[in-house]
């Protein structure tokens, strides 16, 4: 009986850990900024799967290296400076 409790506790804590680690990335992608980006493409070997790529750079300068980032404020700043698009931050959920 004690071993059943121990194994269920381990399963629960593993599930919580994976849920927590996934929730940060999921929360990050809820920002309005990420509507102006794309994920990695399968046909491009040199792209980082953990980064988002600016759609405007891709449209304006397809022959150049695209701006890539995974930080919301950095991507928002890039889009404002380089493409003159002001993306308003959405109000928090709290």
pLDDT tens-digit readout, 45-92: 788 899 999 999 999 988 888 999 999 999 999 999 999 999 987 776
Q: Which residues pair with 69 in a beta bridge?
A: 52
Q: Using an 8 Å Cβ cutoff, are 87 and 80 in contact?
A: yes
The pLDDT, as a whole number, for residue 83 is 96
SS3 52: strand
Spatial distance between the Cα atoms of 72 and 90, rounded to a whole number of angstroms: 12
Helical residues (DSSP H) of 1-94, grouped into ranges: 2-28, 55-60, 72-83
The pLDDT, as a whole number, for residue 44 is 75
Spatial distance between the Cα atoms of 10 and 40, rounded to a whole number of angstroms: 34
How high is the mean pLDDT of the chain?
A: 75
Beta strands in 2-94 (DSSP E): 37-38, 52-54, 68-69
Q: What is the pTM of this model?
A: 0.64
The pLDDT, as a whole number, for residue 89 is 79
pLDDT tens-digit readout, 2-44: 544 444 333 333 332 333 344 445 545 678 999 999 998 887 7
Chain-centroid distance, C-alpha 61: 23
């Amino acid at each position: 009986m004690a071993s059943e409790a121990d194994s269920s506790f381990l399963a629960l804590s593993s599930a919580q850990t994976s849920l927590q680690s996934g929730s940060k990335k999921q929360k990050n992608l809820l920002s309005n900024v990420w509507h102006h980006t794309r994920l990695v493409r399968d046909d491009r070997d040199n792209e980082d799967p953990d980064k988002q790529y600016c759609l405007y750079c891709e449209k304006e300068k397809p022959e150049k290296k695209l701006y890539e980032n995974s930080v919301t404020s950095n991507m928002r700043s890039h889009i404002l400076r380089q493409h003159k698009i002001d993306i308003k931050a959405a109000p928090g959920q709290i």
